[in-house]
Amino acid sequence: MSETTITAPAPAAAAAAAPAVREIGIIMNGVSGRMGYRQHLVRSILAIREQGGIELPDGSKITVKPLLVGRSEAKLAELAAKHGIEDYTTDLDAALADPRWEIYADFLVTKARATALRKAIAAGKTIYTEKPTAESLEEALELAKLAAEAGVKTGVVHDKLYLPGLQKLKRLIDSGFFGRILSVRGEFGYWVFEGDWQPAQRPSWNYRAEDGGGIIVDMFPHWNYVLENLFGKVDSVYAQAAVHIADRWDEKGEHYTATAEDAAYGVFELEGGVVAQINSSWTVRVNRDELVEFHVDGTHGSAVVGLFGAKIQPRNATPKPVWNPDLEDSHDYDADWQQVPTNDVFINGFRQQWEEFLVSYVEDTDYEFDLLAGARGVQLAEAGLRSSREGRKIELDALSLD
C-alpha cells in the first residue's frame, strides 16, 4: 500500500494574495488652527483613514498615519485622544529627523511657514502645504528652487478647483459650451463682524498687515490658480485695496486698529484676451445664492457657478432685453437660466486633492500644483498690493526655476 501525502492549501493563497498596503506617515504641523483641524485633519486625513485608505488600480492600498505637531502639548494630547491618534509632539525638528514620517504638511500662519518649509526641505521630506507659501515672491520662488534642487516633491493646496460648482464649470469649458470666453466676474465675501457687540468670524491677525493679514494675501493666491487653471494665465492686474472698517476688537475683546485691507477690487487680464473682475470683501452683506459666485460669459453661452450650484443660459435661449428706463420691466430674468444637474458624487475638495497628491507621491508622477504654482499665487498677491499702492496696472513676468 503506497503512502499518499495530502498538502493543505495556504489559507490566504488559496483564494488570492492579500493586497499590498503602503502606510504613509504624515507630519501635520498646525492642526490646532481652524483650517488645519477641520479641513486637513478631520475632513481629509482622518476621512481617508476611516475609509480604509486609498485603493490603487493594481489593488494595493495607501493608508495614512498622522503625527500631530504644534506648540501646546495639552492641545495636541486632547486632539489625539479625541480622534484616536497615537502620535503627537511639540518638537518639529525631531519629527523631521524621524524616517517614519515621509510627508511634511504645513498649516501654520503665513509668517511661520517659510522657516518650517526650509527645515522640511533640508530634511528631504515630501511637502504638502497651505498657501500663501511665503510672505514675498522672492521667498516663495527661493523655496521652490530649494525643493527642486533637493529633489523634494511638493504640493500646494488648490482647494477651490475641487468645489462641486467649479468642477461643473470645468466640464462646461471642456465641452465647448461657452464658445469663445469673453469675461469672468467673481464676487466673494461676507460680513465679518467687528468684534465689539458680536464676535468676529475671522481671527484678528487677518486685519493686521504686520502679522501677514489682508484679503489680498489671503484670496489672490486662490484667484490665481482658479483663473490660470480654468481660463488662462494671469498677464496683468489692476487692484484697489481698502480698509473699510479700521476699528475692530480682537479675541480678548480689546480694540485694535486694522492695518490690512478688508476688501479688494481687482481686474485681471488673462492670456488669450479674457478679462476677469473679482471683488473680494469681508465687509459685504451677502445678496447672492452662495458666498462665492463666478459669472462667465461666452459667445455661445453663459454660466453662473458657486460653491455647489451651477446654472447656464445658452445662446439660443438668451432673451432680447430692450433698455427703457421709463417702463417697468416685468420679465423674469432668473427663469431664463437652467440648472446644471449634479451627476457625480463630490467629496470634500481638500480630501480629494490630498488623495490625488498621495497617489502621485506613491506612483512618483509629476504634480502640477507644486511650490512653483504656489509662487505664482504669491506673485499675484504682491502685484495686487503694488497696484493698489501705485494706482496702476502691473504686468506679471513668467516664473521659472532657472
Cα–Cα nearest to 303, from 185, 162, 160, 161: 185
CATH superfamily name and code, 160-344+371-390: Dihydrodipicolinate Reductase; domain 2 (3.30.360.10)
- Residue 290 and residue 309: Cα distance in Å, rounded? 8
- Residues 4-30: what's their mean pLDDT? 68
37: closest CA among 64, 75, 73, 74? 75
| b/e map 79-116, b = 16+ CB within 10 Å | bbeebebebbbeebeebbeeeebbbbbbbbebeebbeb
93/296 Cα distance (integer angstroms): 47
pLDDT of residue 227: 98
Same topology, domains 21-159 and 160-344+371-390? Answer is: no
**CA-to-CA distance for 94 and 98, rounded, in angstroms?**
6
Q: How many residues does the chain have?
A: 402
The pTM is what? 0.92
pLDDT, one tens digit per residue, over 120-173 is: 999 999 999 999 999 999 999 999 999 999 999 999 999 999 999 999 999 999
Q: What percent of the chain has pLDDT over 70?
A: 96
User: Cα dihedral angle (273, 185, 224, 306), rounded to 10 degrees?
Assistant: -130
Fold of 21-159: Rossmann fold (3.40.50)
The conformation of residue 283, written as its DSSP 8-state character, comes to: B
* CA-angle at 134, arms to 133 and 139, nearest 5°: 120
| Mean pLDDT score of the chain | 94
Cβ atoms of 259 and 246 within 8 Å: the answer is no
CA distance 67 to 108: 15
pLDDT surpassing 90 at residue 369: yes
Domain locations in the chain? 21-159, 160-344+371-390
pLDDT in tens, 244-297: 999 999 999 999 999 999 999 999 999 999 999 999 999 999 999 999 999 999
**How large is the average pLDDT for residues 77-97?**
97
